[in-house]
Structure 1
Amino acid sequence: MKENKKLKFAFLIIAMISISLLLAMIPTTYNFIETCRGVMTSYMHEDKKLIEDDFYKSKAFDEALIRPLLYWTSTSVIDENDKGDYEKDYLENKKESAKKQLSYIKNMKYIAINKDSNEVYSNTEYKTIEDFKKNIKGECDVELSSNNDVITYNKQIKDKIFKKENANRELRDVLIYNLKDFDVCISINKNFENYGYYDKVLLIKNDFDREVLYFKTIIISSIISLILFIVSAVIYKIMKCEVLDRNSFYLKLYKIIPLEIYIIASLFLLCSLIGFMETGYYGYYDILECLVYIFIGIFGLFVIYYILRKELKSFDKPIEILKTSLIVRVLILGKKTLKDTNKVTKSVPLAKRIIILAALSVGVGTIGWFIGFLFGSTLLLFLFGPILSLTIVVLYVYYLIKKLAYLSYIMEGTERIKGGDIHYKLDIIDDDNFSNLAENINNIGEGLDKAIYNQLKSERLKSELITNVSHDLKTPLTSIINYIELIKKEEDIKPEHIKDYVNVLDSKSKRLKVLIEDLFEASKASSGNLELNMEKIDITQLLRQAIGEMEEKLSNSNLDLKLRVPEEKTYIMADGKKLYRVLENLLSNISKYSLDNTRVYIDIIEENDKVKLTMKNISSYELNFDPEEIMERFKRADESRNTEGSGLGLAIARDLVNAQGGRFEIDIDGDLFKSVVEFNLID
């Protein structure tokens, strides 16, 4: 019998899964057809199919691929005479953009000719349509020609030729310029190769293959799901045993779950189903994701329906299912509690003084009635006690409200202190636990204020000490450097090895001078004692200037610089000299610590009204330190201590960027060292 129950339960699950999958595929497939019609046969072919196996005969080829290719190829040979209402610079930008897009596409050969200006653009060596067609043969060859503003479209798939004498309705809207006479030939390679994400031919072909595969899979899956549902449902009905009878342990367990949970779960699943059914699909993986979610929603509804149906059958009356409701359970429990409370209060007068306020009111009311009885006034007998009781209640409530208001005042004060107003003081009212709490919070604020003051004082004293020492060292060091220069000018220095000593002194003294200047600059930057000349700056131009100045150092390190910046100017508010020092420090670090013969990536990206300057390089040393730690003054990696440097470059860069209202951060991933400078973008 148990084996039969398990078998019937298995068929029940199979039936639920198969029908849920079948129902989930219906809205998913419908929405997919509405948004992704690339698998249908294109307007160029008469033998229409719902699912077109041949990519070159599909809508994906003629609409998703040929239309942008026609736009790019025709725009690549646009002439100034064709500009119409467009500005010359705008036209040139569009022309360069079209050529850039075509450069990404490697799975095709093409040639475009402006018949008015005879301008030719091609990725082959051929300069005429005839030479191109004679020497280039692909799996699919397309010829698009415009004569007197009429576009003809010829397509050859292997040995079959398809023609459309007037394709203006399908293609004219692609040409947004006044180019009326041109020839374009496109030859698609026989074998596709993966040249990257930007190859439009490969991208459209892969999407088409996935969509065709999805349609075929959905048809086969639907048939299999329908067959499985029919077979499993019939077998489930034939089997006489009950999976969940009235005394089943699992049914009793399900009854513990409140009815509201089932209702809320059902509403949630229904809302989710409606949301996913109305969602537009933009790719193959969106379809799979929505299919899974819709399947889970439908399957969940079937499970809830089955459980509730079994619960209804287990009760003598269907209305008894309300007993599983949480609200009904709370009402029943409350009723029972009141009954028990009444029983206790009846057996023990004012039992344990549970309700102090009620007991006080009853006591005062009793006294009032007694006083009224002594004075012999019937009106006072019935009114004095209740009025006095009400007065006590009002006073007690007033006391509670007053204390709660003071507690709210204390909480607001702590929020202000938490927000940074550490000088804020709470008023001390009365002498109770709340007033003690307020006094302790005031003491905490004073302690925090004192700690911050001491920390700031310590930092200020350190900065002043560094500044004074740096300033005091400058004068004697300048004298040493000047005397060394005088010695070097002496022609007759003997013995000869003295010259070597002088050169060493010259090198070390100049390095010490740079170190002192860095120390002085770091001290000013960290203390905020800087004079900033904030102005509108093109960060791209400033970066190019800094790279030009550092070009020799970068070349000596055999570094391949990869620069990616916006074509248009990128403006920020900053101090040009200070920002140049930041760029100089970062580029200097790259030249010193990058692994030879590696690439350095420098990007400027505009993102959400922000400008991000990112520099990435591969370190020649193991990056065994924390990013925050390396930005501290005098901090250097262990392996880099044998190179020249003060360990102040990154600290200076960070402080200068922060002083100008920017953000500076460092990220380390293995041997990849990445620095990011961020400023607000301005017009």
Structure 2
Amino acid sequence: MGEKVRLSGKEKSELWFEGLVTLVLLLMLNFALFVLLKQMIATNPTLQDTIWSVKNVLTFGQNKAHLWSWRNVFVGAMIVLDLMVLYWRLIRRYRQMQMRHVIAELHYIADGHLDHRVRLAVNTDLQKVINSINALVDSTVNSMEEERKIEQSKDELITNVSHDIRTPLTSIIGYLGLIEDRQYRSTDELLKYTHTAYLKAKQMKVLVEDLFEYTKVRQTTTPLNTSTFNMVAMLEQLAASFELEGEKKGMVFVVSGSPDPLMMNADTEKLGRVFNNLIANALKYGKGGQHIYLNAEKVGSEVVVKVSNDGPQIPNDALNQLFDRFYRVEESRSQETGGTGLGLAIAQSIVTLHGGYIYAESSPALTSFVLHLPLKVGTTLTRTPQVPSNQAE
């Protein structure tokens, strides 16, 4: 609720002066009209007879002419009109003062006090303008805050990319420098240097590709090449493609789905990127585990897909940060173990493009990445917070 406009002493004086001047002008006008009307009646017998007839009708033929004389009628009518004009003039001037206060508030906000809002209670029409102005300022502040976050995000992105590129680039330059200066003792040592430089260059290539993919899927205008497919069949194909790598790590894939076939509409290429990343992470970080579970289930108008492994538990304080760019659970930023740190951020962006959401949950028995996807692209799902009993709030 706004507060009423508080008039200053000067403004109150202006209001009194406005009323006094208006009253004086009205009295002068009344006197002039009275004199003019009196002269017209005195010189016009017909007008006199008319006034007398009206007086008789109003007094029901009784002799009360002194009450309904034309002078009394004129004075009464002019008093009513004068009061109406006086009220209109004072209200008009008061609203002008209200507008002056509102403009002063706007100038205060325009001077950089964006946390300030106009809290004045004024007439209905002006109140609508004030509410619109407050809404506009709120929108502007939110836009500025979003812009600030975007700039901060860009700075963080540049810093992280520079860090992750500089490390392998330093190694590449170092080993190529040794080769350039012929600081190697044998062909085997030369091949070792070139092989190391080659591996570091591949790391840089993966980072650049992931960065390009991340920036592309972050755009809400990124097109989706959708098609209808069987999600269970897709998971079985993915399990088959990773089966050899799973055997090397002693892990077995278990695929299940309900119903089967589970038909849905989505961009299979982009979802394939998501599942490839999640399965690769399960193989990389699920050391000691024996199973990777891929499960898809239709729940209402959405599909819930879980990629789980029975490897080590992810610390609770890390679960909510997994999808941050360049975040790695390990303290070391070694790309040999941590990858580029963009995989899960890319996965989240792709799922969001489809109108769904993704989150992680972990317990000593099982670590799962849970995807909620609409059966048909174009439907945006509302996330229902789910906190496992073992997960810290």
TM range (shorter): 0.5 to 0.7
Does the alignment pair 1:609 with 2:291? no
Q: Which amino acid aligns with 1:598?
A: Q
Matched ranges for 1:112-261 at <5 A: none
Once the two structures are TM-superposed, the CA of residue 675 in structure 1 deviates from its matched residue by 0.9
Distance across 1 between alignment mates of 2:125 and 2:268: 60
User: CA 1:652/1:438 → structure 2, altered by over 3 Å: closer, same or farther?
Assistant: closer
Q: Which amino acid aligns with 2:283?
A: S
Distance across 1 between alignment mates of 2:129 and 2:222: 46
Which residue of 2 is the match for residue 663 of structure 1?
A: 357
Which residue of 2 is the match for residue 543 of structure 1?
A: 235
Q: Which amino acid aligns with 1:543?
A: L
* 1:585 alignment partner, SS class: helix
Q: Which amino acid aligns with 1:607?
A: V
Which residue of 1 is the match for residue 139 of structure 2?
A: 445
Does the alignment pair 1:680 with 2:374? yes
Q: Deviations over 1:423-445 (max 9, x none)?
A: xxxxx967988865654443233
User: CA 1:436/1:609 → structure 2, altered by over 3 Å: closer, same or farther?
Assistant: closer
User: CA 1:640/1:567 → structure 2, altered by over 3 Å: closer, same or farther?
Assistant: farther
Distance across 1 between alignment mates of 2:137 and 2:202: 53
Q: Which amino acid aligns with 1:450?
A: M
Distance across 2 between alignment mates of 1:569 and 1:526: 31
Once the two structures are TM-superposed, the CA of residue 636 in structure 1 deviates from its matched residue by 0.6
Once the two structures are TM-superposed, the CA of residue 556 in structure 1 deviates from its matched residue by 2.0
Q: Which amino acid aligns with 1:515?
A: L
Distance across 2 between alignment mates of 1:557 and 1:375: 119
* 1:615 alignment partner, SS class: strand
* Contact 1:522/1:652, CA 8 A, preserved across alignment: yes
Once the two structures are TM-superposed, the CA of residue 448 in structure 1 deviates from its matched residue by 2.2
* 1:568 alignment partner, SS class: coil
Once the two structures are TM-superposed, the CA of residue 456 in structure 1 deviates from its matched residue by 4.5
* 1:496 alignment partner, SS class: helix
Distance across 2 between alignment mates of 1:641 and 1:520: 20
Number of residue-to-residue matches in the alignment: 257
Distance across 2 between alignment mates of 1:546 and 1:589: 14
Q: Which amino acid aligns with 1:505?
A: A
* 1:502 alignment partner, SS class: helix
Matched ranges for 1:350-389 at <5 A: 376=67
Which residue of 2 is the match for residue 66 of structure 1?
A: none
Q: Deviations over 1:237-272 (max 9, x none)?
A: xxxxxxxxxxxxxxxxxxxxxxxxxxxxxxxxxxxx
Once the two structures are TM-superposed, the CA of residue 523 in structure 1 deviates from its matched residue by 2.1
Which residue of 2 is the match for residue 136 of structure 1?
A: none
User: CA 1:376/1:629 → structure 2, altered by over 3 Å: closer, same or farther?
Assistant: same
Q: Deviations over 1:152-172 (max 9, x none)?
A: xxxxxxxxxxxxxxxxxxxxx
Which residue of 2 is the match for residue 649 of structure 1?
A: 343
Which residue of 2 is the match for residue 522 of structure 1?
A: 214
* Contact 1:621/1:639, CA 8 A, preserved across alignment: no
List gaps (5 residues or longer) in structure 2.
Answer: 1-63, 92-121, 180-184, 378-393
Q: Which amino acid aligns with 1:593?
A: Y
Among 274, 297, 309, the alignment partner of 1:582 is 274
Q: Which amino acid aligns with 2:143?
A: D
* 2:321 alignment partner, SS class: helix
Q: Which amino acid aligns with 1:539?
A: M
* 2:284 alignment partner, SS class: helix
Once the two structures are TM-superposed, the CA of residue 558 in structure 1 deviates from its matched residue by 1.5
Q: What value does the CA root-mean-square deviation take over the aligned residues?
A: 4.6
Once the two structures are TM-superposed, the CA of residue 575 in structure 1 deviates from its matched residue by 1.6
Once the two structures are TM-superposed, the CA of residue 592 in structure 1 deviates from its matched residue by 0.5
Q: Which amino acid aligns with 2:235?
A: L
Distance across 1 between alignment mates of 2:244 and 2:229: 25
* 1:629 alignment partner, SS class: coil
Q: Which amino acid aligns with 1:558?
A: G
Distance across 1 between alignment mates of 2:295 and 2:332: 26
* 2:370 alignment partner, SS class: strand
User: CA 1:599/1:529 → structure 2, altered by over 3 Å: closer, same or farther?
Assistant: same
Distance across 1 between alignment mates of 2:152 and 2:220: 15
* 1:527 alignment partner, SS class: coil
Q: Which amino acid aligns with 2:286?
A: S
List gaps (5 residues or longer) in structure 1.
Answer: 1-372, 400-427, 488-492
Once the two structures are TM-superposed, the CA of residue 588 in structure 1 deviates from its matched residue by 0.3
Distance across 1 between alignment mates of 2:267 and 2:243: 23
Distance across 2 between alignment mates of 1:433 and 1:530: 42
Aligned-pair identity (%)? 24
* 1:620 alignment partner, SS class: coil
Point out which structure has higher relative CO (alpha carbons under 8 A, 6+ apart): 2
Q: What's the TM-score once normalised by structure 2's chain length?
A: 0.53
Once the two structures are TM-superposed, the CA of residue 529 in structure 1 deviates from its matched residue by 6.2
* 1:596 alignment partner, SS class: coil
* Contact 1:625/1:637, CA 8 A, preserved across alignment: no
* 1:604 alignment partner, SS class: strand
Q: Which amino acid aligns with 1:674?
A: S
Once the two structures are TM-superposed, the CA of residue 655 in structure 1 deviates from its matched residue by 0.7
Which residue of 1 is the match for residue 325 of structure 2?
A: 633
Matched ranges for 1:299-448 at <5 A: 376=67, 439-448=133-142
Q: Deviations over 1:203-226 (max 9, x none)?
A: xxxxxxxxxxxxxxxxxxxxxxxx
Q: Which amino acid aligns with 1:665?
A: Y
Stretch deviating more after TM superposition (540-549 or 661-670): 661-670
Distance across 1 between alignment mates of 2:358 and 2:209: 22
Q: Which amino acid aligns with 1:675?
A: F
Distance across 1 between alignment mates of 2:349 and 2:333: 23
User: CA 1:587/1:444 → structure 2, altered by over 3 Å: closer, same or farther?
Assistant: same
Distance across 2 between alignment mates of 1:554 and 1:447: 51
